[in-house]
A and B are shown apart, each in its own frame.
Chain A
Amino acid sequence: MIRIEHLSKSFSGQVVLDDINFEVQKGEILVILGGSGTGKSVLLKSMMGLVRPDSGKIWIDGKEITQFSEKELLKVHKGIGYLFQEGALYDFMNVFENIAFPLQEHTDLDKPDIEAKVKKVLEVVDLAGIEGKYPSELSGGMKKRVGLARSIILGSKILFCDEPTSGLDPIRSRDISNLIRDISKGLKCTTVITSHDIRNAFRIADRSVLIRNGKIIAMGTQAQMEASSDIFVQSFIQ
């Protein structure tokens, strides 16, 4: 479903991603682990086509996207849900308008159908009845849930989540992690999540990738990661 080959990216001479290679199978949940500033978000944005890599190839659903034009990338984006770290909700729109936006842009649904879909997806993220609120009136966790609702409203088969638990308390982190897992498995989404939250990552991931200094240093299931003899892997997961 998703394949990354020899992906590298530098900013002002500083290497952020260095020869990254991995695959994500259809319906799999893969968590990209790593400390702050290790290039997890850049990797996810590159996979989405929001950041152009210096070299390497990225296949999404059989299409190699690194050479795509901006217009072609916009078409690819319609098929991928992307949850930003802080939600990235439009602050001039209320919750309903934010979630309805992709439907208004990419479907011919009429108003009652859009309203019904928004209501349903808000129930899925456990936020029914907040349609009229603006992002400034929401807590960090609520913003992420609304962002998640917006990213799944088109029924995309690929879901990317950038640090969905950062800045949340342990209970909220667990809730949103479980929510992402339920949605991914329910909608049979191929899901890639970046995180430094090892406990929740292992709870929801089918496989994990650990990045350090722009390189993958470990990859596998929780059991495989725990069996690693690498000192950094052991210190990170413990």
Chain B
Amino acid sequence: MALIRFIAHSIAELGNALCFLGDIVRNILRGRIRYGEVLRQMYEQGVQSLMIIVLTSFATGAVLAIQGAVTLTRFGAKEYIAQMVAWSLVREMSPVFTAIIFSAKAGARITAELGTMNVNDQMLATRALGVDPIEYLIVPRVIACFLVLPILTVVSEIVGITGGYLVGVFEANIPSAFYINQTLRAIRYVDFFSGFAKVFFFSVLVSWICCYQGFVTRGGSLGVGKFTTKAVAYSIIIVILSNTILTKIMIMFWG
């Protein structure tokens, strides 16, 4: 009985979340976009996540190069470190890591902000003032996320490759020009595109989940904490699971 209730509740919740997404898309298609708010949100979401993404990406690139140096040297293939770092970052690690870190920083902020507005009646006040809260509060956050996440991913790729380069050149003693040449040769358009396509998909999922959880938050300050945690957990799980499917699809089509 409890299982049936849980399933019914989950289906109803998914239905509500899809209606919410439908409202967002309808507003965007009708051109109800507040560009000033979008820019403000882009600044807040981007700046807030930039530093942590730079640090983790640099460390990730460096670790990939260190592990690559150890492993590939055993097979006498040390010169392939550059390719391994570049492929790993551009195709998989930067898009996924950036989306996960973005969920934990900017996504949590979105849910907490909207949730606090909800429990303090500010969301209701927006409606009472004759303004659609989806148009005023949600659409700018979703569009900002859609634009910021790809930019952050490119930053992550560049910084990660730089981290790998520093280890490759100064630790593994690969000549600098050779490392750069190998990196540029390694990244084909399709590699960059497949990673980038994923990021757009992740940005929609993360912004949808975080905005929805904020929009339905109830239960005072305790509720804000609960729904924010839920938003971050759902976002991370969905990013990781959808990445598996997207990777399979992209390899099927583009190799």
Contact = CB atoms under 8 A, between A and B. Distances in A.
A88 B121 contact: yes
A82 B131 contact: no
Contacts of A80: 128
Given A84-B125, A86-B120, A88-B122, 8 more contacts: A50-B124, A70-B132, A73-B127, A74-B130, A77-B127, A84-B124, A84-B128, A89-B125
B245 interface: no
Contacts, number: 51
Contact of B121 (A74, A84, A101): A84
Contact of B131 (A74, A84, A85, A86): A74
Interface string A178-198: 000000000000000000000
Nearest to A74: B130
A88 B126 CA distance: 9
Interface of A: 45, 48, 50, 70-71, 73-75, 77-78, 80, 82, 84-86, 88-91, 101-102, 105-106, 150
B129 interface: yes
B120 A102 contact: no
Contacts of A150: 129
Contacts of B122: 88-91
Interface string B106-129: 000000000011001110110111
Contacts of A86: 120-121
Nearest to A77: B130
Q: Which 10 residue pairs of A and B lie closest in terms of their CB atoms, listed nearest first? A: A88-B125, A78-B130, A88-B121, A82-B128, A77-B130, A84-B121, A74-B130, A102-B129, A88-B122, A105-B131
Nearest to A79: B130
24 contacts: A45-B124, A50-B127, A50-B128, A70-B132, A74-B127, A74-B131, A74-B132, A77-B128, A77-B129, A84-B124, A86-B120, A86-B121, A88-B121, A88-B122, A88-B124, A88-B128, A89-B125, A90-B122, A91-B116, A91-B122, A102-B129, A105-B130, A106-B130, A150-B129
Contacts of A82: 125, 128-129
A12 B89 CA distance: 50
Contacts of B120: 86, 88, 91
A78 B130 CA distance: 5
Nearest to A93: B122
Interface in B121-176: 121-122, 124-125, 127-132
A228 to B, nearest CB: 33
Nearest to A82: B128
B225 to A, nearest CB: 18
Given A85-B121, A90-B122, A75 B132 contact: no
Nearest to B137: A90
Contacts of A75: 130
B26 to A, nearest CB: 11
A101 B127 contact: no
Contacts of A105: 129-131
Contact of A48 (B117, B128, B131): B128
A143 to B, nearest CB: 11
Contacts of A78: 130
A106 B128 CA distance: 13
Contacts of A71: 132
Interface in B62-118: 116-117
A82 B131 CA distance: 13
A66 B117 CA distance: 25
Chain A CB within 10 A, most for which of B116, B128, B130, B131: B128
Contacts of A89: 122, 125
A184 B80 CA distance: 79
A218 B122 CA distance: 33
Contacts of B130: 74-75, 77-78, 102, 105-106
Contacts of A50: 124, 127-128
A89 B126 CA distance: 10
Chain A CB within 10 A, most for which of B122, B125, B131: B125
Contacts of B127: 50, 73-74, 77
A146 to B, nearest CB: 12
Nearest to B123: A88
Contacts of B125: 82, 84, 88-90
Contacts of A74: 127, 130-132
Nearest to A78: B130
A222 to B, nearest CB: 29
